[in-house]
Each structure stands twice: as C-alpha cells, then as structure tokens.
Homo-oligomer: A and B are copies of this chain.
Amino acid sequence: MISTANDLALQRLKNASPRFVDVKQAKDLLPDFDKYTILHAGPPIKYLDMCAPMQEAVHAALIYEDLAVDREDAKLLASSSKIKYSPCHSKGVVGPMTGVTSWSMPLLVVENTDYGNYAYSTINEGAGDVIRFGACTDNTIKRLKWIENTLAPCLKKVVDSYGGIDLTGIIAQAVTMGDELHMRNNASSRVFVYEIVSRLAQVNESEEFLEVIEFLTSRNDQFFLNFAMAANKSAADAASNIPGSSIVTAIARNGVEVGIKVSGLKDEWFTAPAPAVDGLYFSGFDENDSNPDLGDSAIMEVNGFGAFAMAAGPAIVQILGIENTSKAFELTEEMTKITHGEHFKYSVSTTNFSGLPLGIDVMKVIESNITPAITTAIAGKEPGVGMIGAGLSRVPYLVFDKAIRRFDEVVQELYEK
C-alpha cells in the first residue's frame, strides 16, 4: 500500500506541468485572507518568536500596506492581536527567505495543468535592501510599490498576450545550463528574459518597458527563483494528501524552526530547530552574523532541484564554500538514496542524462540516516543586513523521526479500516 501510494505521489511530481498563467494581487487570489493577515516562510510561528529579519519584513509589509506609518508604529501593530500570521504554504504560496507576503502584493500565478491546481509566489525584488532579507527602508517600500504598480502590470500583459507561459521548458533549459535552480538561477533568469523580452516590449509602453528591462537585467540573477518555487509548490501540492504515502511534500524554514510535510499526513508540520548553514560568507561576515536556515525555497529540493541537482550545476560549489566539484556529484548521488525515483523531465547532462533524484521518502531517510541537503542563501541575523553568504544546510533528522512515528500510527489506522 505504501509503495503504491508513493508511486502515485512520484507520478504526480513527475507529471507536473507548471504554466505561468497570471499575475494578480494576493487579495484577489488567496482563500481566508484579509488585509490584517501576514504570510511568512516556514512552519507556523508567532510574531514574538520570529527571527529579527522576519519581524522586520513584517514591519515593512505593514508600512507598505499603509497600516503603519513607520517602523515603531509597525512594531506595535505587529505584536498586537489585530495582525494574524499564517505560513505561506497554508495558502498555496511559497516565499523565499522571510517569505513575508501581504494583501496588496502581486503574486505570480502558476497552474499545474496536469492536475489543475494553482500555486503562487511573490515577484523577486532583486538585490539590495529587500523585504525577503528583512530590510525595511524607504527604498524597500518604494521598490514594493514599483513592483505592484509597474512590474506586475507589465508582466501580466505579457502572460495574458501569450495565454500562459510553459515553465517546464525554461527549467529544462536551465538545468542543462548549470543551474541547480535554488542558489543558482543565472541561466533560468537569462532564459526567461530571452523568452519574453520581445513580447514585453511589444505589449507595454516604451517608458514602462525601459524601467522593467533595466530591473530584470541588473543584479537580478535570482529573478526566476520565485517562478521555479511556485512551479514546484504546484507539483508538491498535487502530490499531497495521498493516503499511505511517505513522500515529503514540503520543506520550509522560518529562521527559528524547520518543518516538513508528508503526503500521507496531510497538513501536519513536523518541526525541529532550524540549523545553522555551513557556507561561504561575504567579506566582513562570519557564522556569528548568520541567521539560522530561512525560507520556503527548500520546495526546490522537494522536487529534485537545489542540492539534489548539484551535479547539473557543479560550478555552484564556488559560492557555497566547497573546494571541489566532486562534492556536487557526491551530493546528487547521495540524494538518490533517499528518493523514490528520478525526474525524467529534468536530466543531468554531466551524468549522462540521469534524471534528478525525485520524491524524498521519509522511510528512506530513516533507514539510511541520510537527511536532505539544501543549497541556500544565508541571511544576516540583524534585520536589514541582507544576504551575507551562501551554503549548504541539512534538514534535521529529528523532523523525520517525528514524522515516521506519526506515519506509523496513520498507516496502522489505514490498515485497521
């Protein structure tokens, strides 16, 4: 029974056909959502328990929403009972790093045409003092407004004019171009611009186009990450809620805890303290400055990308602080030991077109004592510092230990029925 359930989960992950179909504000998309609800990365957490960058991102969101006039005002409101907090994942959203998502933010809408479900992500803000790394400056708010008022409408016109843009093709190209698609989106971001730029120019006014194309091509190597995250969330959601399946359908970090979800265990989170990230720090920073693991972007690993796909992009070792590219091949090989199959749509040319290791099986993690690796950015623990490096983390064994115990109970109940 478990094996059949896992086969079905794997099939859903494999068959996912993500299409970028719309850009709409969160308020027009999300269920059980209002202006006083703030979404965040990772498993559930209260405002007072959040890491500082996430709290600061909440402040920025409240100012952006005109619910607070400044940071002090925002702090008071954020800690009051007026504001409700929910994981992005609970609304079909995935957000990189702090993941803070609010009422007016435009979201990328990705349809999984294979299964008919939808997933969402904010639009990547580029580099600098960005909300995803916990910045809350005038510039942070100004950029969010520009994304809402200029970038989002321009992108919407493009996607409307195409009637949707297939993301599988872009992702497949990027995997042959050295992207593992979590920490390295250099190729995918360039391929995306290349695919849409002509249409972007055709369907928009010249002034808006000039602003948008300047933004897309300036220090914006991670622009495609949010598309890829929503694509993989749409795949993972299709593989969720399959009775008897031990396949992982979410890995997410809120900077304090890391949590996973398992297909056969519905919406239950299994959590443990978020680990430190072993990585390479930008000049002037070290591990004492770093926040524990943060962000919903580990949805990439759930679907075979990130650390699981390092063999496709071994150049990534340079920014992760790993000396030798052999580690990239070893990690992908290691991850095949905890996955249920291979992703035939995304193959690795450096290993003779083997598919990405796909479908993390809680049982295999327990049996092998191998935990999923994640390629990830490192956020400064002080708010506003931003990205201070990149590295590798491991999902703690504890979350799988908790999950397998619950899984055993649930499977027992299934058999008894």
Q: Give chain A's interface residues, CB within 8 Å of chain B.
A: 173, 176-178, 186-187, 190-191, 193-195, 197-198, 201-202, 206, 209-210, 213-214, 217-218, 313-315, 317, 324-326, 349-353
CB-based nearest B residue for A354: B325
Whole-angstrom CA separation of A194 from B190 in the bound complex: 6
Report chain B residues within 8 Å CB of A218.
198
Instruction: Say whether B198 contacts A210, CB under 8 Å.
Output: yes
Oligomer: number of copies = 2
Shortest Cβ distance from residue A33 to the other chain B in the assembled complex, whole angstroms:
36
A202-B210, A206-B206, A326-B352 in contact; A187/B177 too (CB < 8 A)? yes
Closest 4 CB pairs of A and B: A315-B349, A177-B177, A190-B194, A176-B315
* B178→A176 contact, CB < 8 A: yes
- Find chain B residues with CB under 8 A from A194 CB: 190, 193-194, 217
- Which B residues are CB-close (under 8 A) to A214? 198
Partner of A186, one of B173, B326, B350: B173
Q: Please indicate the chain B residues that have their CB under 8 angstroms from the CB of A351 in the complex.
A: 325
Chain B residue with Cβ nearest A213: B198
Shortest beta-carbon distance from A19 to chain B in Å: 20
With a cutoff of 8 Å between Cβ atoms, the chain B residues found around residue A173 in the complex are 186
A186–B174 Cα distance when bound, in Å, is: 11
Residues of B with C-beta under 8 A to A206: 201, 206
CA distance A342 to B349 in the complex (A): 23
A-B contact pairs, 15 of them (CB 8 A): A173-B186, A177-B177, A177-B178, A177-B186, A178-B349, A190-B191, A190-B193, A190-B194, A193-B194, A198-B217, A201-B206, A201-B210, A313-B349, A317-B349, A325-B349
With contacts A178-B349, A324-B352 known, what are 18 further pairs, Cβ within 8 A? A177-B178, A177-B186, A177-B187, A187-B187, A190-B190, A190-B191, A193-B193, A197-B217, A198-B210, A198-B218, A201-B206, A201-B209, A202-B210, A206-B206, A314-B349, A317-B349, A325-B349, A325-B351
Query: Once the chains are docked, how many angstroms separate the CA of A317 from the CA of B195?
Result: 24
> In the bound complex, do residue A197 and residue B193 qualify as a contact, i.e. CB atoms below 8 Å apart?
yes
Expressed in whole angstroms, the minimum distance between the Cβ of A41 and any Cβ of chain B is: 29
Name the B residues within 8 Å of A191 (CB-CB).
190
- Cβ of A162 to closest chain B Cβ, rounded Å: 14
Task: Tell me the minimal C-beta distance from A211 to chain B in angstroms.
Answer: 10
Which B residues are in CB contact (< 8 Å) with A177? 177-178, 186-187
**Closest chain B CB from A339 CB (angstroms):** 22
Q: Which residue of B lies closest to A328 (CB)?
A: B349
Given the complex, which residues of B lie within 8 Å of A352, measured CB to CB?
A: 324-326
Cα of A217 to Cα of B209 in the assembled complex, Å? 17
A316 to chain B, nearest CB (A): 8
Q: How far is the CA of A197 from the CA of B197 in the complex (A)?
A: 8
